[in-house]
A and B are shown apart, each in its own frame.
Chain A
């Protein structure tokens, strides 16, 4: 659907050469929700903007539906942009136009007739649940409502691709999840390919199928969201993940415990097996669960447990060997006294 072929974007700012995107080379499949993660200044936004050529590329090619769009100009470019919707962190609605007028603008710009426009606006407002706000001005809408209007506007001309530039970064948690589930619905219902850039890894975790991680202009890692979150290959990714997984045991607790403490990670299939109770029965040891969670990414479970082991030293050693063999990861946090 969208293919980056050695895409680079560079600027000369205040006589300093600066490479915002460095040799991006990957493919986004039709109908998937693709995330691009990275800290601010990593080049995510620049990369996203090359897809509808809001940002021209310095070298390389971008293919959309197999067609090289890199050199599109004028009419060709305008038609391309009608098929690629875009939403923004700050919604970017015209503030002196009503909700209705904001959406009408893009339909008229595409040459739709008056009656077509009217039917389509009503359809869109229904889709985003805002039929009663047609004549409101953006100032009278909540952040979530503004983003819904922006989504309606972005999809007005039956876009096949939706680009999302930090779509939930200005929203509270509750509104974020409602916007994300709307995006997920639209993806399911219409098969729209969605590209999201965000510094919020939770956003990627909750709706993306695959994602790329960017650092200093380069795409350093790319893959299934589950794999990236459970098995990051790059140090930078691990570091990025650690900012969102505030999941560790307080030092005081660790020092207070008598027995050894281990950290177990369960993934995929082994997350569903009763491994702990089997180990408890077989090796006759006790488990004291100190901290734990199981979350589902892309429908697959990821479990993390901090456990204190209670029992004889030699049986504990056997239990640890058994657990290490039957879980995705085992780390001994503290050897105990």
Chain B
């Protein structure tokens, strides 16, 4: 039976996008909130709280220390509980999301910390509420850097998603390994790698250009 490369590529591309986009969304929303929490609990102008900061920090560090392949396996029971399956792209989204949340949590914390403290102090001095300062000053000031870090996270996720095949996750990386590497069909592997390279490039270009557009700090 002829192997339909086009159909396989379309299918696995869809799987990769599904895995990357949904775990990226989780990273932005949950990881970003954790990054914000880490920043707010480290800054005396906001909600300085050493205990919370350290506990959350340690959890993030532990998650980040676990190699992704091991995380994939460790998360199987969690995937089962949440998406009721332990195989397929849907199941892989869970460990991907966990890794991405921890990763982007730290990166976004750094983005928030890079915002000039003086600007925040001036906002506090104006009598604005902390919530409005976070929404209307901190976020816009950190946004270009956040977008750069979202790009970094997305690119790492594309890499991580290639390991999804280990638990039957599918995706382009999986196609490259199974058909290209294990069945020795180098052209399949080659095409898959090109698709991945293009995907990374597209993410990078979109990320860089939107970060640049939002960054008003240079003339």
Question: Which A residues have a C-beta under 8 Å from some C-beta of B?
Answer: 52, 54, 77-82, 84-86, 88, 90, 92-97, 105-106, 108-110, 137-140, 150, 153-154, 156-157, 163
Q: Is B121 an interface residue (CB 8 A)?
A: yes
Q: Is B81 an interface residue (CB 8 A)?
A: no
Question: Could you list 7 examples of A-B contacts with CB < 8 Å?
Answer: A78-B127, A82-B126, A88-B122, A96-B214, A106-B128, A137-B217, A153-B126
Q: How far is the CA of A85 from the CA of B128 in the complex (A)?
A: 12
Instruction: State which residues 99-131 of B face A: CB under 8 Å.
Output: 116, 118-119, 121-129
Q: Is B6 an interface residue (CB 8 A)?
A: no
Q: How far is the CA of A54 from the CA of B219 in the complex (A)?
A: 32
Q: How far is the CA of A90 from the CA of B118 in the complex (A)?
A: 8
Are B119 and A105 interface neighbours, CB within 8 A?
A: no
Instruction: State which residues 140-190 of B face A: CB under 8 Å.
Output: 140-141, 143-144
> What residues of B have a CB within 8 angstroms of the CB of A106 in the complex?
123, 126-128
Are A95 and B125 interface neighbours, CB within 8 A?
A: no
Chain B: minimal CB distance from A137 (Å): 4
Question: Which B residues have a C-beta under 8 Å from some C-beta of A?
Answer: 116, 118-119, 121-129, 132, 136-137, 140-141, 143-144, 214-219
Chain A: minimal CB distance from B193 (Å): 38
Chain A: minimal CB distance from B99 (Å): 30
Are A109 and B141 interface neighbours, CB within 8 A?
A: no
Are A105 and B137 interface neighbours, CB within 8 A?
A: yes
Are A94 and B141 interface neighbours, CB within 8 A?
A: yes
Q: How far is the CA of A108 from the CA of B129 in the complex (A)?
A: 11
Q: How far is the CA of A79 from the CA of B126 in the complex (A)?
A: 9
Besides A90-B116, A106-B127, 10 more A-B contacts (Cβ < 8 Å) are: A54-B124, A81-B125, A88-B122, A96-B143, A96-B214, A97-B216, A105-B128, A105-B137, A139-B216, A153-B122
Chain B: minimal CB distance from A295 (Å): 34
Are A80 and B217 interface neighbours, CB within 8 A?
A: no
Are A110 and B127 interface neighbours, CB within 8 A?
A: yes
Nearest opposing residue in chain A for B215, CB measure: A96
Chain B: minimal CB distance from A138 (Å): 8
Are B118 and A105 interface neighbours, CB within 8 A?
A: no
Q: How far is the CA of A95 from the CA of B216 in the complex (A)?
A: 6
Nearest opposing residue in chain A for B124, CB measure: A54
Q: How far is the CA of A109 from the CA of B122 in the complex (A)?
A: 13
Nearest opposing residue in chain B for A87, CB measure: B122
Are A97 and B127 interface neighbours, CB within 8 A?
A: no
Are B214 and A80 interface neighbours, CB within 8 A?
A: no
Are A139 and B121 interface neighbours, CB within 8 A?
A: no
